[in-house]
């Protein structure tokens, strides 16, 4: 192993690479790392908390500089000390903030599911549509959350964990009115039901009083994450789909299938997310 390392060092030393090219390569690598870091945290529920922390640090730093110019020595020392302490413990702070997302990422990294992400939804869509159609006919209220990239571990931890294969029969039995699990939402990831009876915090209902609890919860979870929410109205049996905080109501079974396919099929997802419209 040592000899291989030495050979690589000698080989690299013999390559005459212009310093400008190395500097450009260095900049490109750092830029790529920051891009993927920002891309990762932007798709998490903790992104707003991270941005709040960054803004607070920037404001304290600016105030400390102004305090130094104004001769406010104590204030400058206090703010610089706080900023230094936060920066020094930043890795630990970020690990705490993004703990659910990191756990989800490493779990995916260590499993085969990360390799089959592109093709695990067709059967799931069939089972969801079948269950939704059955519940709509019987006017059984339902709220189904389909996880995409954003982690939903916080919600899953609060619900009743299941880890069951997605099937129309299981979904219908969960939302059966006399079932102990029918209140709350079901969270699905690929072809697995992660949890049932999941409680989603409701948003401010100002201007949304005409919507029911399930519809409000669907709007809230799709505002905070990139998840998809399918709702069946208990009063009318109408089928709705929420995505990016927007609700599409009174969908037919074919509309629901088309919309789910467009949002979950990798080759069509980018187009739909950019336009926010059905293909």
| pLDDT for the residue numbered 278 | 46
| pLDDT for the residue numbered 169 | 93
27-34, Cβ contacts within 8 angstroms, sequence gap of 24 or more? none
| pLDDT for the residue numbered 51 | 75
**Residues in CB range of 238: below 8 A, 6 or more apart:** 136, 232, 249, 250, 251
Q: Where are the extended beta strands (E) located within 157-220?
A: 160-165, 185-189, 192-198
- Higher pLDDT among residues 204 and 169, named by residue: 169
Last residue of a domain, one of 89, 109, 129: 109
Q: How many domains does the chain have?
A: 2
**Residues in CB range of 225: below 8 A, 6 or more apart:** 45, 147, 148, 150, 152
Are residues 165 and 28 both part of a single domain?
no
- pLDDT digit string (tens) for 210-266? 778 888 999 888 888 889 999 999 889 999 999 988 899 999 989 999 999 988 875
Tokens of 20: 């400008």
Are residues 104 and 135 both part of a single domain?
no
Last residue of a domain, one of 109, 138, 153: 109
| pLDDT mean across residues, the chain | 78
- pLDDT digit string (tens) for 117-132? 444 578 889 999 999 9
What is the Cα gyration radius of the chain? 25
Are residues 167 and 86 both part of a single domain?
no
Are residues 50 and 168 both part of a single domain?
no
- Higher pLDDT among residues 109 and 102, named by residue: 102
Range of the domain at 140: 120-275
Are residues 85 and 154 both part of a single domain?
no
**Residues in CB range of 177: below 8 A, 6 or more apart:** 140
Are residues 257 and 173 both part of a single domain?
yes
- Higher pLDDT among residues 96 and 68, named by residue: 68
| pLDDT for the residue numbered 158 | 84
Can you tell me which residue has the tokens 């982690």?
Answer: 151
| pLDDT for the residue numbered 76 | 82
Q: Is 228 domain-assigned?
A: yes
Can you tell me which residue has the tokens 């299938």?
Answer: 257
**Residue 69 CB neighbours (<10 A):** 8
Are residues 32 and 105 both part of a single domain?
yes
Last residue of a domain, one of 40, 75, 109: 109
| pLDDT for the residue numbered 38 | 67
Are residues 220 and 125 both part of a single domain?
yes
- Higher pLDDT among residues 172 and 120, named by residue: 172
- pLDDT digit string (tens) for 47-74? 667 777 788 888 888 888 888 888 888 8
Q: Is 2 domain-assigned?
A: no
Q: Which of 125, 3, 104, 88 is nearest to 44 (CA)?
A: 104
Are residues 186 and 223 both part of a single domain?
yes
């Amino acid at each position: 192993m040592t000899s291989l390392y030495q050979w690589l060092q000698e080989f690299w030393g013999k390559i005459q690479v212009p310093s400008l090219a190395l500097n450009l390569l260095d900049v490109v690598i750092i830029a790529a790392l920051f891009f993927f870091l920002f891309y990762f945290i932007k798709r998490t529920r903790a992104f707003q908390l991270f941005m709040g922390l960054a803004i607070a640090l920037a404001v304290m730093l600016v105030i400390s500089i102004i305090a130094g110019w104004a001769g406010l020595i104590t204030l400058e020392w206090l703010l610089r000390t706080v900023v230094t302490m936060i920066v020094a413990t930043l890795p630990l702070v970020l690990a705490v903030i993004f703990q659910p997302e990191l756990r989800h990422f490493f779990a995916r990294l260590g499993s085969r599911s990360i390799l089959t992400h592109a093709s695990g939804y067709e059967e799931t869509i069939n089972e969801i549509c079948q269950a939704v159609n059955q519940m709509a006919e019987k006017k059984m209220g339902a709220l189904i959350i389909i996880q995409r990239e954003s982690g939903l571990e916080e919600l899953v931890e609060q619900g009743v964990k299941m880890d069951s294969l997605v099937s129309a029969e299981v979904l219908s039995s969960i939302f059966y009115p006399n079932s102990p699990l029918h209140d709350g939402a079901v969270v699905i990831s690929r072809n697995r039901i992660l949890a049932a009876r999941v409680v989603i915090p409701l948003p401010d209902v100002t201007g949304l009083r005409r919507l029911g609890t399930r519809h409000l919860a669907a709007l809230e979870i799709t505002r905070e994450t990139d998840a998809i929410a399918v709702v069946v109205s208990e009063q009318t049996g109408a089928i709705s789909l929420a995505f990016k905080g927007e609700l599409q109501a009174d969908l037919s079974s074919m509309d629901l299938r088309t919309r789910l396919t467009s949002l979950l099929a990798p080759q069509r997802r980018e187009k739909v997310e950019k336009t926010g419209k059905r293909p």
